[in-house]
Amino acid sequence: MTHVLLGVLLLFPQLIDSTKTLNEPVPPATEISHEKRGDIFVARKMYREAIESYEAALPEQDSAARLHNKIGIAHHRLHQLGQARRHYEEAARIDKNFAEAINNLGTVYYAQKRFKRAQRTYEKALKAMPNSASFHSNLGTAYFARRRYRQATEQYLKALELDPKIFESGGRVGTALQDRSVEERGKYYYHVAQAFAENGQYERAILHLRRAIEEGYSRARRADEDSAFRPLYEMPEFLALMNRDQTAALR
């Protein structure tokens, strides 16, 4: 079950949001702000209600950029990419350094398979927030979609340096979308495995290499010919993946 869940988290866009699911009833509008109500609705995946609350909050706020970004996320979760894009663009127009909104706009372009535009948008987000592991991960995935595999691996490595669990976790604090949706899954897992190996995270490298093999990526079966995996060459788990007998491999 854990294996399946982790695979799902890796392959689909992931909302990075600070809201949490709450058990108590939603308080009346008179008791909390419209924005807070919207946050509660988002935590409960009641996105239409969240949009209504955020829109009601717009006249109340000095900074509308944050609310437009949140409205964009709610539309995004409803797969209403056009509306999401308009709100992300408005947030970025109001605040030209709003890195999360710029990043989220990149995820719309990625979903629309406009990979070069997504790449440039993620690069712009990184100029505003250069130490975001999620943004580096997203940029790597955009490079991957454009078949620029070496550059993709470099971005994955930067993401890992900033957050060693970036490819394992189900969420992050903030209001940005993290896009991990790729079509060539086996190849994607292989390049993530390379990044883990080069970063010294050998167990995670083997885990993702196994996934690459399970997805039928033929090159993964020849990983023992790839210098990126050299530190793994004598590990029993790696040898087993390569269908090598450890004694024979050490001769």
**DSSP readout, 123-166?**
HHHHHH-TT-HHHHHHHHHHHHHTT-HHHHHHHHHHHHHH-TTT
Element (H, E) at 178: strand 175-178
| CATH hierarchy code of domain 13-147 | 1.25.40.10
Rounded CA-CA distance 250/11 in Å is 36
What's the confidence (pLDDT) of residue 237? 92
Would you kindly state where each structural domain of the chain is located, as residue ranges?
A: 13-147
**Grouped pLDDT means (10 residues each) for the chain, 251 residues:** 36 42 54 90 95 92 88 96 97 96 96 95 97 94 92 92 78 60 82 89 91 90 92 92 56 37
User: pTM (2 decimals)?
Assistant: 0.77
Residue 177's pLDDT is: 73
pLDDT of residue 4: 35
Q: Do residues 6 and 14 lie in contact, with contact meaning Cβ atoms separated by under 8 Å?
A: no
pLDDT at position 63 is 80
The pLDDT value given to residue 172? 44
What integer pLDDT is reported at residue 26 of this predicted model?
Answer: 58
CA-closest candidate to residue 190, choices 227, 222, 220, 152? 220
Provide the CB-side half-sphere exposure for 3 (13 A, CA).
5
